Amino acid sequence: FIEGGLQDFSVSRAGQPWGVPIPWDEEQVTYVWVDALINYLSALSYAREDEDLREKFWPHAHHVLGKDILRFHCVYWPALLLSAGYEVPQQLFVHGWLLLDKRKISKSSGNTVDPLELAETYGADAVRFWALRSVSFGQDGNASLDGLHERYERELANDLGNLVSRTTAMIARYREGRIAPGQPNEELARLLDGLRVKLVERFDAWELTHALEDVWELVRWLNRHVEETAPWELAKDDANAAQLDAVLYDLADGLRAVTVALSPYLPETAPRILGAIGQPLDLSLEQIAYGKTDVTEGIAPAEPLFPRVDLPTATA
């Protein structure tokens, strides 16, 4: 488009029954892409009563958009902004399309899926998780309803949900609901420090899918830690009391840090997990570290986070 030579374009259209009227010509309305793009900036001036948010947000703007509207954001929008004396956005992140069973989603193909129905069935967190887990963010990617169901059951319900259930149940059963620190776990501390640094790098590079995999590696590590330390065996002998305290604290602390890291992907689930292990709703980056879990009492077995659902079907 640019290589062909940039040309002036009209900011109005005639003969349309809808649109924002042009003040000086009642037969013209504003070209929809002028109207729509300006809203990014103009909305900041009236979004909150008696508060202009343009200075706070606009210089830091990052646009996330689909590749099919690249021209409007990369050519028209900067031209409009510069002509009005405004800075252009700091960054445009252009993502690909989500394909369903390797086909473009369209009504004519009969493979449309209502995202609201999926969210009603699985929860919005699960749908968001599936989209970012299945497709490398930024590229065209293929997904399927079978894949959504499989990830829901295998990763959310089993990997994460069971980790929460087992951790809270063991704390309730073996320590009467009390979390207390034991001998520090240097390996877990190292893993959490590494995760915190890696996530900053991933998010700065918009590598949201890779960041999610980094977090999930720690979820898997915590599940392995349960099996390797076998708290149910430690609980059989009072001589293992200190070791049991340490294991249960590590599970709770690791789960707390993982929950903070997952909060951008699972914003509704994260507060539920933190509440289940008696921790405050602090989602700051600094919380992805070892030893931040408060001594807590009254922990009870958690309710299932991701209950069993039936596999839905695509609808036309």
Provide the residue range defining the domain that includes 55: 12-95
Do residues 52 and 168 share a domain? no
Specify the pTM.
Answer: 0.85
Distance of CA 218 to the CA centre of its chain: 17
Which tens digits make up the pLDDT trace of 208-217?
A: 999 999 999 9
Residue 135 lies in a domain: no
Do 157 and 274 reside in the same domain of the chain? Answer: yes
pLDDT for 313: 55
pLDDT the model gives residue 1: 73
Write down the mean pLDDT value for the chain.
92
Instruction: Please report the pLDDT score of residue 267 as a whole number.
Output: 98
Same domain, residue pair 83 and 180 = no
Residues 155 and 78 in one domain: no
How many DSSP H helices and E strands does the chain contain? 13, 7
Q: What is the DSSP string of 145-205?
A: HHHHHHHIIIIIIIIIIHHHHHHHHHHHHHHTT-B---S--HHHHHHHHHHHHHHHHHHHT
**Spatial distance between the Cα atoms of 110 and 106, rounded to a whole number of angstroms:** 7
Query: Percent of the chain scored above 70 by pLDDT?
Result: 98
Q: 275 and 150 in one domain?
A: yes
Beta strand spans in the chain (E): 12-14, 21-22, 25-30, 62-66, 91-95, 98-100, 141-143
- Same domain? 56 vs 188: no
Interatomic CA distance for residues 63 and 284, integer angstroms = 23
Position 307 in a domain = no
pLDDT, mean of residues 242-251: 97
23 and 152 in a single domain? The answer is no
Q: What is the pLDDT of residue 305?
A: 97
Is residue 179 one of the residues assigned to a domain? Answer: yes
In a domain, 313, yes or no: no
Q: How many degrees, rounded to 5, is the angle at CA 13 between CA 10 and CA 14?
A: 135
Q: Determine the pLDDT at residue 314.
A: 47
Same domain, residue pair 202 and 277? yes
Nearest-angstrom CA–CA distance, 305 and 218: 19
The residue from 64, 95, 126 where one domain ends is 95
Residues 68 and 182 in one domain: no
pLDDT in tens, 110-164: 878 888 999 999 999 999 999 899 888 878 888 888 889 999 999 999 999 999 9
- Which of residues 259 and 206 earns the better pLDDT score? 259
Residue 174 lies in a domain: yes
Total structural domains in the chain? 2
Residues 282 and 159 in one domain: yes
In a domain, 170, yes or no: yes
Residue 306 lies in a domain: no
Mean pLDDT of the 27-38 span: 92
Which of 78, 95, 112 delimits the end of a domain? Answer: 95
CATH code of the domain covering residue 160 = 1.10.730.10
Taking a C-beta distance cutoff of 8 angstroms, is the pair 170, 248 a contact?
A: yes
Across the range 40-57, mean pLDDT stands at 89
Which two tokens mark 295? Answer: 């001594």
Q: Do strands 91-95 and 62-66 pair parallel, antiparallel, or not at all (unpaired)?
A: parallel
Q: For residues 8-35, give the mean pLDDT.
A: 90
pLDDT at 315: 45
Residue 43 has which token pair?
């909305």
Q: Are residues 86 and 156 in the same domain?
A: no
Asked whether residue 117 is assigned to any structural domain, the reply reads: no
Q: What is the pLDDT of residue 312?
A: 58
CB 7 within 8 A of CB 22: no
Round to whole Å and give the CA distance between 179 and 222.
17
Q: Does pLDDT of 316 surpass 50?
A: no
Do residues 192 and 254 lie in contact, with contact meaning Cβ atoms separated by under 8 Å? yes
Please determine, for residue 105, whether its predicted confidence score (pLDDT) is greater than 90.
no
Residues 89 and 163 in one domain: no
